[in-house]
Amino acid sequence: MDETQIHESGDILARPTNRLLDDFGAGKASPGSGSAAALMGLLAVKLIRTVCKKSLEKEACAAAKPTLIYVLEQVEALEPTLVSLFEKDAREFDEIVEIRKRRDRAQSADERAKLSRRAQ
């Protein structure tokens, strides 16, 4: 699956870890800082989920059970939003980059102005 197909399918997170990290390190607009922030949020969700679940298994944490369950529910509710934001940021930056390339190749001032407004 090429990069365009991955963006269209909304599955950038399905890339192998090394490829995703290479994509971030390539210095391109997408995936960029917005996607990286969402990815860090997703990592935090996964880690908090693990801590909550492991803590719920321990008798020493019985008094904290309601709080742990609440925190677990909250972070699990965030995950789909973070996945969506990760994908959305990457797709939108790809679109902006493409519009700017078309603007830079445009022959007429009107077309350049139109594409500049669209990129904004």
CA dist., res. 25 & res. 39, Å (int)? 14
pLDDT in tens, 41-86: 999 999 999 999 999 999 999 999 999 999 999 999 999 999 999 8
CA dist., res. 15 & res. 6, Å (int)? 9
Residue 77 maps to a domain: no
Residue 19 maps to a domain: yes
Residue 56 maps to a domain: no
Supply the pTM of this predicted model. 0.70
pLDDT in tens, 14-41: 888 898 888 888 877 678 788 889 999 9
Please, what is the Cα angle at 32 between 27 and 34, to 5 degrees?
160
Strands, E assignment, 36-90: none
The range of the structural domain enclosing residue 10 comes to 3-48+84-119
